[in-house]
Structure 1
């Protein structure tokens, strides 16, 4: 896994990377698809400590692909805004590398489902009843974070992008 970023002025700190993961709800994970093809699929997620949790049904192509993937990468685009005058993109993104594992124990599965519920169903009563019910028919996977990098546009592009967004 590559960790070097050529343009050092664009590197985000680990804390900034974590903040991006925490405020976003969708990312794209690379899985082992059929016939040697990489299958990239958008997924809902939650970061909890050094893991990123995903959930889904136990049947289907995504589930099959999760089961045959161990090492993977996951990407979240926090922002992407074209600045035509500079022929550039005001972007901010994070890439995570790590090992993917199916959550097998009920305790860890419930912990992951609670974290997902807190992120996606905040303020909705009876989350615990739904968690207890869904643990029977939902699979949960964890991406154990080994490395993460973040990158953003150069300052000139960020400032120009901010001015354009304020005009809208």
Structure 2
């Protein structure tokens, strides 16, 4: 599905949308429950090779929901500033759309190491021990990006 941006003058380039993803720390993963209700959950993530990786527990509502429908969106909001006198906001955001799946093996290991580099870069040796200790207890999900949109208001 192609998701068009209504205000085309606010659309950012693909490379700018990717940059917003790369610089972000958290985003909201949105999905649809079996009851056709929207469900969004804030997550930290890493971006690599046109995919977004998430980590978490091996059970729970999120996984139950994804097993029924693996089509999702993931929204990251970058820099923002309220403009009270203009009744507006300076912002940048991007939304990735795609399918999500569980990964294992060397791809799982690589994703975990990407989390270390992004969130704990000063503690790599200690982090690798932590990964080895909890490797079997953590689940890694991969969002394969099928469509990416980004927009911004800069003034």
Q: TM-score, normalised on structure 1?
A: 0.84
Gaps of 5+ in 1: 159-168
- Relative contact order (C-alpha < 8 Å, sep 6+): which is higher? 2
CA RMSD between the two structures: 1.5
Partner of 1:119: 118
Distance 1:80 1:68 in 2: 35
Bigger Rg over Cα: 1
Say which SS state the counterpart of residue 135 (structure 1) adopts.
Answer: helix
Taking the TM superposition and a 5 Å limit, the aligned residue runs for 1:9-28 are 9-28=9-28
Q: TM-score, normalised on structure 2?
A: 0.91
Indicate yes or no: 2:111 matched with 1:106. Answer: no
Say which SS state the counterpart of residue 22 (structure 2) adopts.
Answer: helix
- Following superposition, the deviation at residue 91 of structure 1 comes to 1.2
Retained in 1: the 8 A contact 2:34–2:68? no
Taking the TM superposition and a 5 Å limit, the aligned residue runs for 1:51-90 are 51-90=51-90
- Following superposition, the deviation at residue 5 of structure 1 comes to 1.8
Distance 1:44 1:66 in 2: 17
- Following superposition, the deviation at residue 34 of structure 1 comes to 4.9
With 142-151 and 80-89 compared, the bigger mean Cα shift is at: 80-89
Distance 2:130 2:66 in 1: 24
Residue-pair matches, total: 154
Distance 2:119 2:14 in 1: 24
